Amino acid sequence: MAPVQHLRRAVLTAGLAFAAAAAPAAQRDLALTHQFPALPGKTVVVDAADVDVQLRAADLTHIEAEVALHIRGAGAGAAESWIASRTPVFEDSPDTLKVLVSPAKAGFLWFGKLTARARLGLLVPPGVVPDLTTTSGAISVRGDFPDARPLWLRSASGTLSFAGTAASLEVRSTDGDVRVEVIRPLESFTASTSAGDVRLSGGTRRAEVGTASGDIDLEGLSGGLEATTSTGEITISWDRLDADQVVRIRASSGRVRLEVPAGVSPRGRLATTTGSVRSELPGEVEADGSTLQLAGDGPRFDVETASGSIDLEVRGSLD
C-alpha cells in the first residue's frame, strides 16, 4: 500500500502545480485625481511607503493629487489586493493635508514577469510646506517653497531629490542618495544617511551633513559646516566664509578637499593619522607631520581624518 500512497501524493502535487501554472495572470490599473483647498502655509504630510512621490510647485490656488497604480503578472485576487493597499487615504483639514499609504505585508504568487508601478503626483501652490516620507519609494520635489522652514524629505531606501528653492531643507535616508539643486542659497541644510551620497549645489548659509558610507559634495556654501563620513570622500567649496564661522569635519577614510574664496584666511587645524595634508594657505606643521596649524585670523577650521588626505585650496574670483 505504501507505494500507492506515494503515487497518489505525487499525482495530487502535480495537479496543484498544474492548476497554479494554468491560473491566469491579471492586470489591474487605477487612476484617480483629487483636489483640495490650500491656504498659505498649509502643510502637505505624505507617508507613502513604497509609492514613488513626485511633488511640484505650480501656479494654483488649490492642491491637485493624482494617483497612478499598475500591476501585471499576479493572480486576480493578489492584483486587486495590491491596488487596494496602495490606494492613498486622504485626510484634509484647513491647515494640513495628510496622505497615507499602508500596503499589506503579506506576499503573493505571481506568474512569469511581474510588473508593478505606484506613483503619487502632487501639484501645490508655492505657499504650501511639503513633509514627505516613504519606505522604499523615491521622492522628487521641484519648485519654489519660500515658507518651508524646513521642507522635510525622508526615505528608508529611496532616492531623494530636490530642485528649486526653499527657506531650509532637512533630509533623512537610511539607504539612498540625496541630490539637491537650489537656485538661491538655503538658510540651512541638514542631511543624514547611513549609506548614500549627499550632493548639494547652489549653496546654503549653514550645513550639517552626516553619512556612514557615502560621499559628501557641497557646492557654493556661504557659512559654517559640520560634516562627518566613515568611508566616503568630502568635497566642499565656499562662495563666502566670514571670520566668525566654524567648519568642523570628521572622516575615517577618504579624501577631504576644501576650497575657499580668495581673501579668506582661516585659523585652526588640519589633522590626519596616516594620510597627508596639503594647504595653499600659510600654517605651521607640527613635529610629527600629521597636523597643520593654520596661521590665519578668519574662520575656524577643525578638520580631522584617520587615513585620507586633506587638501585646502584657494579659488580664484572667476572660478
Taking only the tens place, the pLDDT of each residue in 275-294 is: 999 999 999 998 887 899 99
Q: What is the 3-state secondary structure (H, E, C) of the chain?
A: CHHHHHHHHHHHHHHHHHHHHHCCCEEEEEEEEEEEECCCCCEEEEECCCCEEEEEECCCCEEEEEEEEEEEEECHHHHHHHHHHCCCEEEECCCEEEEECCCCCCCCCEEEEEEEEEEEEEEECCCCEEEEEECCCCEEEEEEECCCCCEEEEECCCCEEEEEEECEEEEEECCCCEEEEECCCECEEEEEEEECCEEEECCECCEEEEEEECCEEEEEECCCEEEEECCCCEEEEECCCCCCCEEEEEECCCCEEEEEECCCCCEEEEEECCCCEEECCCEEECCCCCEEEEECCCCEEEEEECCCCEEEEEECCCC
More confident residue, 16 or 128: 128
State mean pLDDT over 49-72: 97
Contacts of 258 (CB under 8 A, 6+ apart): 236, 237, 247, 249, 301, 303, 310, 311, 312, 313
- Give the residue, 158 or 20, on which the prediction is more confident: 158
Q: What's the pLDDT tens digit per position in 299-309? A: 999 999 999 99
The answer to whether the beta carbons of residues 168 and 151 sit under 8 Å apart is yes
Q: Is the pLDDT of residue 150 over 80?
A: yes
What's the pLDDT score for residue 14?
A: 34
Copy the grid coordinates of residue 77. 485576487
What pLDDT shows up at residue 107? 56
Amino acid at 105: K
Residue with more model confidence, 167 or 26: 167
User: Which pLDDT score, from 0 to 100, does residue 20 have?
Assistant: 40
| CA quadruple 160, 58, 68, 195: dihedral, nearest 10 | 0
Q: And the C-alpha cell for 182?
A: 537650489
Residue 201 is placed in which grid cell?
A: 549645489
Q: Given this model, what pLDDT does residue 12 score?
A: 28
Mean pLDDT value of segment 233-252: 97
The pLDDT, as a whole number, for residue 11 is: 30
pLDDT (average), residues 240-251: 98
With 50 as the cut, is the pLDDT of residue 10 above it? no
Q: How far apart are CA 177 and CA 298, in angstroms?
A: 33
Section 243-258 average pLDDT: 96
Residue 21 has pLDDT above 50, yes or no: no
The average pLDDT across 80-92 equals 96
Task: Flag whether pLDDT at 235 surpasses 60.
Answer: yes
User: Residue 13 — very low, low, confident or very high, per pLDDT cuts 50/70/90?
Assistant: very low
Q: Write down the pLDDT at residue 8.
A: 32
Closest among 40, 54, 41, 57 to 143, alpha carbons compared: 57
- Give me the mean pLDDT over the 16-25 stretch: 45
Task: State yes or no: pLDDT of 19 exceeds 60.
Answer: no
Res 206 pLDDT > 50: yes
* 156 pLDDT higher than 60: yes
Least confident of 29-33, 113-117, 238-242, 245-249: 113-117
How do the domains of the chain map onto residue ranges?
Answer: 24-147, 177-319
Per-residue pLDDT at 179 exceeds 60 = yes
Across all residues in the chain, what is the average pLDDT? 90
For the chain, give the percent of residues with pLDDT over 70.
89
